Amino acid sequence: MLVALAGNPNTGKSTVFNALTGLKQHVGNWPGVTVEKKEGWMEYNGKRIKVVDLPGTYSLTSYSVEEKVARNFIIEEKPDVIVHVVDASNLERNLYLLAELLDLHPRIVVALNMFDEARRKYEIDVEKMRNLLGLPVVPMVAIKGEGIEELKREIVHGKFNPRGVEYPEDIEKRIKALEEKIREMGLEPARWLAIKTLENDAEVIKKLSDIGARNILHDAEHLRHEIEDIYGDDIESVFASVRYSFAHGLFHEVAAPINVGGANITDMIDHVVTHRYFGIPIFIAIMYLAFQFVFLVAAPFQDAIDFMFNGKDVAGGHIDGLIDISYAWMSSFMPDWLASLINHGMLRGLGAVLTFMPVIMLLFLILSFLEDSGYLARVAFLMDSVMKKMGLEGRGVIPLMLGFGCNVPAVMATRTLKDENERRLSIALNPFIPCGARIQVFAFLSYIFFPENAALVLWSLLMLSILVVFILGYVYSKTLFRGESQPFVLELPPYRMPTMKGVSVHMWEKSEGFVRKAGTIIVGAAAIIWALAALPWGVEYGGEESYIGMLASLLAPVGYALGITPEAIISLFFGFFAKEVVIDVLYVLYGSKDAILAAMTPLQAYSFMLFMLFYTPCVATLATIYNETKSLKFTLFVVVEGFIVASIFAFAAYHIGTLLGVGA
């Protein structure tokens, strides 16, 4: 048995999904798009039932990816039952989608979620609603687990006798006429296809014309003009108003408003958090606090994981970590190179993956808290006119800000963007935001080379990165990522207290997904880096005779043009693995801080930092980008754009600086 969950965004659909399936779920992408697909299993009386969470949509047109995904799933996979999750406190507008679903599928269970909240606004006569619709209607409060059992029962044993949407006689007649013809051709669901063809739905019309149903399209066009003439309005508006009359009529039949005055908390909070003067400062304050929370609370856990794997140098010796211990053990019975590959390559890679975990978990804890509470929608509202200039909607500011912490969760957070094209644009821009690890390296190098103006140098790099993101965003949105301009209609849902369960499920999902998918790629990359640095076997690790060293001397002319020394090139290779090791590598290769200072001029150091600011993101970020987009081409594009921008800036800085004679 197959069950699909449909519903508007912000209706607690994923809470219902979690309540039905528990943690037995699988998160992936819908084929070909970056829209998240969640599948899970629910159990009822020993039966295992597959549940699929469809993307949240307001309607089922062919204008957005989410809507197409949702309706195509219903048509192609033919779920046995659709659960329509309705925000009962916002009944009228939620019923619009029900009107569309009724045209498409006969077996629908209506789940009236947030019933407690709704009861403060109006009395809902559930029994009357059941009778009017001829469908099971289950009042529920999913976050408290109320009504879940009844919902399961109705999914399995519910009686479906749908009344459907009543179209006015002069439309119904024409739908029927078209439906007959479509059924004769053996196409299903005939009634829905007839309605959509009449409605001028681009995807359905294309499908019909692909199979050569010319006469149907011809008839449909004729019928459509008749309807438009009768109603004196365009066809889309005619159908929409039929559906709204259905929603409006049903709503007024079953709901009796309770006259409540009382305080509207949402309105009050919005009055302040979107205030003309206070709005932006509050946003900055919240983001800053979120940042501090994530990175400072994650630190002890990261240090502990790092210690566990790598051990540490203490006064008078070295405490062995997992890697040392397991290396010593393995090299007793296997060739040294293999033990080194497994431990110094792969196990170290695994350690690197796991040190990301605390940050990712906490970031998504905060992010889902902000999202579930409703504040994220306000951020979109606040920042929209700024972000619009770089081709993103207001929510696009979130991944960019997270990038300053770590690009990995930032790329994962681009899911908050609803538009496919904007999501890709946002991912392409993200690596240009310097993450905490890079900032750490810059702080260190600025301090060595520019002891007087370290803060200024650091700021110049940060400002430059923001400028580059803005310019690239502007240019990309006009060229490479120019999509159909999607209307930006944003719902501002009422504020709600997020539940611990909802937030933690989300947090777990994200971090588990990261380890499982990106993790394997990172461990693989770690093995490759190891091979480059340690082979041919016997050379000094990462030294001049190793493959990395050879590559670096091969690239020396390029480095020379950019003002970057061969040793620095080697450090960049390692930086690809994890940016913060760049300093360690420079230390090892040069021997001391003074040697680093002697080997590079301040100008060379600055152009090195510029190069490092923009060149390829680290392997963890790339693995995440691949994982989010499932496109090797796109991932390569991100690497290439990074190298191009990095080279331009390093080259320009080095040569202009040399010409002006500064920093020699």
Partner 1 sequence: MNTAEKVRVSIAYAVSLASISLFVSAANVLAWLGMEIPRFLAALAIISLVPLLSDDIRKSSKLIAATAFFTIFALGVSLFLADHARIPGDPMDSFILLLVASLLLTGMKNAVKMLYSGLSFYIVGTFLLLAFSGIKIIILLADALDYYVNCIGEVCDPYGFALIPSIVLFILAIPAVYPYRHRNEFRRGVER
Partner 2 sequence: MRLSELKPGEYAIVRDLLGKGPIHQRLLSMGILPGAVIRVVRTSPFGDPVEYEIRGFFISLRKNEASYVEVDKIIPLVSVPPGSRVRVVLVDGGVGFMRNMDSMGISPGQEITVLRGCCPMLVETARGKFSIGRGIAHRIFVR
Q: CB-wise, 278 or 541, nearer to partner 1?
A: 278
Nearest 5°: CA angle at 379, between 373 and 380? 110
Exposed, middle or buried by CB within 10 Å (0-12, 13-18, 19+), for 190?
A: middle
Min dist CB 231 to partner 2, Å, is: 11
One-letter amino acid of 221:
E
252: partner contacted, choices partner 1, partner 2, none (Cβ within 5-8 A by kind) = partner 2
Min dist CB 423 to partner 2, Å, is: 17
Binder among 161, 209, 215, 237 for partner 2 (CB under 8 A): 237
Query: Which phi and psi angles does 107 have, rounded to 5°?
Result: -105, 90
Q: Does 282 bind partner 2 (CB under 8 A)?
A: no
Min dist CB 405 to partner 2, Å, is: 25
Q: CB-wise, 58 or 614, nearer to partner 2?
A: 58
Residue that is written with structure tokens 């509050």 in the block:
282
Q: Tokens at residue 299, please?
A: 């630190």
Q: Are strands 137-139 and 108-113 parallel, antiparallel or unpaired?
A: parallel
Q: CB-wise, 296 or 656, nearer to partner 1?
A: 296
Binder among 292, 453, 485, 631 for partner 1 (CB under 8 A): 292
Q: CB-wise, 58 or 590, nearer to partner 2?
A: 58
- Over the window 393 to 422, marking each residue x when it contacts partner 2 by CB under 8 A and - when it does not, the resulting string is -x----------------------------
Residues 242-271 that bind partner 2 (CB under 8 A): 244, 252, 259, 266, 270-271
Inter-residue contact 440 to 462 (CB < 8 Å): no
Q: Does 535 bind partner 2 (CB under 8 A)?
A: no
Q: Tokens at residue 483, please?
A: 């999509």
Inter-residue contact 521 to 626 (CB < 8 Å): yes
Min dist CB 298 to partner 1, Å, is: 8
Q: Does 497 bind partner 1 (CB under 8 A)?
A: no
Distance separating alpha carbons of residues 630 and 624, to the nearest angstrom:
9
Binder among 23, 230, 256, 285 for partner 1 (CB under 8 A): 285
Q: Does 64 bind partner 2 (CB under 8 A)?
A: yes
Left if phi > 0, otherwise alpha if psi is -120 to 50, otherwise beta: which for 147?
A: left
- Over the window 235 to 274, marking each residue x when it contacts partner 1 by CB under 8 A and - when it does not, the resulting string is --------------------------xxxxx-xxx-xxx-
Distance separating alpha carbons of residues 547 and 201, to the nearest angstrom:
58
Q: Which stretch binds partner 2 (CB under 8 A): 70-78, 170-178, 272-280, 286-294?
A: 272-280
Q: Are strands 25-29 and 36-44 parallel, antiparallel or unpaired?
A: antiparallel
* b/e per residue 380-399 (b: at least 16 CB within 10 A): bbbbbeebeebbbbbbbbbb
Q: Does 381 bind partner 1 (CB under 8 A)?
A: no
Q: Which stretch binds partner 1 (CB under 8 A): 303-311, 397-405, 531-539, 540-548?
A: 303-311
DSSP one-letter string for 332-352 = TTS-HHHHHIIIIIIIHHHHH
CA distances from 631 to 169, 322, 517, 623, 637 (A): 50, 35, 14, 11, 10
Q: What is the DSSP letter of 144?
A: G
Q: How many residues touch partner 2 (CB under 8 A)?
A: 45
Q: Which of 510, 506, 370, 483 is nearest to 419 (CA)?
A: 483
Min dist CB 600 to partner 1, Å, is: 31
One-letter amino acid of 354:
L
Query: Which phi and psi angles does 277 have, rounded to 5°?
Result: -100, -35
Residues 306-365 that bind partner 1 (CB under 8 A): 307, 312, 314-315, 319
Min dist CB 318 to partner 1, Å, is: 9
Q: Which stretch binds partner 2 (CB under 8 A): 166-174, 320-328, 380-388, 573-581?
A: 380-388
Distance separating alpha carbons of residues 607 and 650, to the nearest angstrom:
4
Distance separating alpha carbons of residues 292 and 404, to the nearest angstrom:
12
Q: Does 61 bind partner 2 (CB under 8 A)?
A: yes
Q: CB-wise, 1 or 492, nearer to partner 1?
A: 492
Min dist CB 281 to partner 1, Å, is: 5
- Over the window 67 to 96, marking each residue x when it contacts partner 2 by CB under 8 A and - when it does not, the resulting string is -----------------------x-xx--x
Q: Does 120 bind partner 1 (CB under 8 A)?
A: no
Distance separating alpha carbons of residues 230 and 287, to the nearest angstrom:
54
Longest dimension (CA), the chain: 92
Q: Which stretch binds partner 1 (CB under 8 A): 296-304, 398-406, 607-615, 648-656?
A: 296-304
Binding site for partner 1 (CB under 8 A): 261-265, 267-269, 271-273, 278, 281-282, 284-286, 288-289, 292-293, 296-297, 299-300, 303-304, 307, 312, 314-315, 319
**Binding site residues, partner 2, CB under 8 A:** 58-59, 61, 63-64, 90, 92-93, 96, 233-234, 236-237, 240-241, 244, 252, 259, 266, 270-271, 274-277, 279-280, 380-382, 384-386, 388, 394, 484-493
